[in-house]
Copies of this chain bind each other. A is one copy, B any other.
Amino acid sequence: MFLAEIIGVGDELLYGETVDTNTAEIAVSLQPYALEIRRTLRVADHLEALTEAVREAWQKARLVVLSGGLGPTPDDITREAIAAALGERMEIDPQVLAWLEGIFADRGWKMPQANRKQALKIPSATWIANPRGTAPGWWVHREGKDLVSLPGPPAEWRPMWAELLPRLGLPAKPYRQVAFKTFGLGESRIVELLGDLFQRNGAVEVGTYAKMDGVAVVVRGEPGPVEALAAQIRPLLGEAVWGQEGDTLPALALQLLEGRKATLATLESMTGGVLGALLTGIPGASRNYLGGLVSYSLEAKSQLPIPLEVAAQHGVVSAAFAEAMAVAARGLLGATYGLSTTGVAGPETLEGQPVGTLFVGLAGPEGVRSRHFRLPGASREMIRQRAAHAALAFLVSELR
């Protein structure tokens, strides 16, 4: 099998100021191809070090992919390193320079001198257009090999790479991946449920990945064995499965609301805005999400039409209060459904309830319900994120 080498460029990756997830994401995108990835590298903004890394990779591998180091500052040295490693000289491309100047002109600015270097290219490279930034990429095809240089920000390189990858003509291998997204089951519980089906051999591989929106169970490898194994696994996971590859809880929730021509309002206590942020992160959310309230302290609660007598009787962290909050959200914004969160994000306990306690309330034409969760999480931020996803998982299961 041919080798692929993936290199992330930048001091900030070495020291974790920016966590390098690009090299892993690029590695995953290469799984459908008959290429072996033995290692990935993070290399400093250091001309000699990067030149050496590119030279070595170009020698060994059929495909070399770099991300980062294409900015305008003096420590952006990826262009220089590739040119040195491949023994070519860079020249300014007048067309790209004009395009760059145009970007700045559109904003009413003069292009800084520093950006000129982003129009530099070696003769054997073809430009890869960057629709979202000032750093176009390079694609070098030489001696039956490919080298691709992409910018660092995922929002920039992802569309560039998605467009280019199929055009590289890499040798394909039959490959299939099936993912079951679950909520409410821990990883070790899933390992127990799966028993001997949790396997890893030449043809097929099962993995579990704990994320904020639950645990994803992924089966991948040769298409036949993958489909056979996935069909055995699916019933074991039962109602915990809420979606498959590519699904997200906020998009699914909005889609189900749209299917009923229904609207949603939220009242968040424990999640403090995270739930609203998840929903409004989906373009077009305003069609079905009217908005919500972040009611974070009791003072604020008392200014709003929230039945504080319920809190006084049952506690703020209670099913009754979650339900009263959901009713209030629905009424205040005139929505079809009201969704609420109340609980303990930590670091301290509240009303004697442990960190990770969550009550979700849902009010709608069918009445009022609530659900209690005990969420794991190593930090306040993780627990808040999990809580917002738990609320959406509850909404999705109720709407179905």
Question: Interface residues, chain A, CB within 8 Å of chain B?
Answer: 11-21, 23-25, 27-28, 31, 37-46, 49, 53, 71-75, 107, 112-115, 132-133, 153, 155-156, 187-189, 191-192, 198, 200, 207-209, 263, 265-266, 268, 271-281, 283, 285-287, 289-297, 299-301, 303-304, 332-334, 346-348, 374, 377-382, 384
Contacts and interface: CB of A to CB of B under 8 A. Distances in A.
11 contacts: A39-B43, A74-B200, A112-B188, A265-B300, A272-B276, A274-B277, A283-B346, A292-B293, A292-B294, A299-B334, A303-B332
Contacts of A291: 293-297, 300-301
Given A42-B39, A44-B39, A114-B192, A74 B274 contact: no
B303 A334 contact: yes
A155 B378 contact: yes
Contacts of A207: 11-12, 17, 45, 75
A72 B187 contact: yes
Contacts of A283: 346-348, 380
Nearest to A293: B293
A270 to B, nearest CB: 9
Contact of A276 (B11, B189, B276): B276
By Cβ-Cβ distance, the 7 closest A-B pairs, closest first, are A273-B276, A272-B280, A16-B24, A155-B378, A291-B300, A38-B49, A273-B277
Contact of A274 (B24, B189, B273, B333): B273
A78 B376 CA distance: 23
A188 B300 CA distance: 43
Given A18-B209, A40-B14, A378-B132, A290 B299 contact: yes
Contacts of A273: 268, 273-280, 292, 294
A291 B297 CA distance: 7
A321 to B, nearest CB: 15
A346 B17 CA distance: 27
Most chain B CB inside 10 Å of its own CB: which residue of A20, A132, A300: A300
Contacts of A189: 112
Secondary structure of the A side of the interface?
mixed
Contacts of A37: 14, 44
A322 to B, nearest CB: 16
Given A73-B198, A112-B189, A280-B272, A39 B53 contact: yes
Nearest to A301: B291
Give the interface centre of A43, A153, A200, A291 by most chain B CB atoms within 10 Å: A291
A143 B198 CA distance: 39
A378 B156 contact: yes
Contacts of A294: 266, 273, 276, 280, 291-294
Nearest to A23: B42
B188 A72 contact: yes
A293 B303 CA distance: 12
Given A112-B188, A191-B74, A274-B273, A21 B16 contact: yes
Nearest to A134: B188
A190 to B, nearest CB: 8
A10 to B, nearest CB: 9
Contacts of A348: 283
B191 A114 contact: yes
Nearest to A294: B276
Contacts of A187: 71-73
A367 to B, nearest CB: 22
Contacts of A112: 188-189, 191-192
A189 B15 CA distance: 24
Interface centre among A37, A73, A266 (most CB of B within 10 A): A73
A14 B339 CA distance: 38
